[in-house]
A and B are shown apart, each in its own frame.
Chain A
């Protein structure tokens, strides 16, 4: 088969490694991680544009390297060829290898911020997307001096306190080791950041199996949704996470 993978760059190393070993021909387009910060509607529009760019005569299916991602993929429509989508709330499911493992870990570890190679080296917003980024509009990226200039010293102090609260409830970094790392430097950077913030550090062994199955064509219905042409992705909020509905 010839397949087209449209993926968030967060999986750059994981898909590069697994596409190399796929029995199929898989062409890849990575999209900026910053798409997650532009709001659901713009994210969906950008993804739909990427799906629509695919030459349907050339490929048998479009693979999506995304989770539900805060409904960012809800409404995405398969045109002439099927769209294959992992049943996942977000990328952590794919890094851990199953949504069950993710939910179990999530439930027993509140306040965890996950790190992988992609979360470290591709964390920043793409230059051209920065203008659109919600984070910028709401001041998360703003430094203290900029806040003082705009809102005065008293309010700047208050805002820093309030906006800084975004991460105040987090207390741990969990580094997911995927086996695609060149060395221990990614883990070390996460350890250093945890030490700097006074957070706990934990390392988990990732699992490439679900990522591998996506690019190798092993699309079990439990694990992947195959959206037939003329159907779109709908969020389901049950164990299936997503479903296909007729447009």
Chain B
């Protein structure tokens, strides 16, 4: 097995310390920081997403895999600064909408998007529409990902999208929505660009949308 294969396995198995060690080993042996993503990290998290869909992995497995992935990317990111050949897959502003304090789902989506090469600007929970608008401006984001866990708060997704429209930013970003009560029909009715049924779906959608944003 190459060091990339080993790293991929370590991430899938949620072995953070090993992932860190293998990343160091790879770097020491002359592997380029940018090559870790397509050869180990992204395929590992794609596999995690697949297993989650097939119900082989549940939230704990996904969380520890994302943590192992982060152990690797934390070492790599500083080395990528200034590497012209590397561009983030996109910049995602994410958050749980106003009035809603639930964040495990949002955190998992954020971690998986990060592993997929996106730069994440996580605004946390109970995020007011103005804050989303400001972050999109400040960070030059091209994707906005909104989460809500309650039918009482998902209406605030609409308010966030309207605030982006009012600020003249709606056409600059792709908006994806998710969370337990959210449906495709709801996403369409509020003018979002897509609905992620689960974290892997959100990643797939973000990739597709970012490519056209």
Contact = CB atoms under 8 A, between A and B. Distances in A.
Interface of A: 40, 68, 70-71, 89-90, 102-103, 106-107, 110-111, 137-139, 142, 147, 150-151, 154-155, 158-159, 162-163, 165-166, 169-170, 235, 237, 241
B64 to A, nearest CB: 5
A150 to B, nearest CB: 8
Contacts, number: 79
A169 B101 contact: yes
A158 B152 contact: no
B101 A111 contact: yes
Nearest to A142: B60
Contacts of A106: 99, 152
Interface residues of B, number: 27
Given A110-B101, A139-B59, A155-B16, A237 B151 contact: yes
Nearest to A241: B151
A70 B104 contact: no
B151 A159 contact: no
A235 B126 CA distance: 23
A103 B101 contact: no
A166 B154 contact: no
Interface in B49-100: 58-60, 63-64, 67, 99
B104 A107 contact: no
Contacts of B167: none
A3 B181 CA distance: 30
Nearest to B16: A154
Nearest to A171: B101
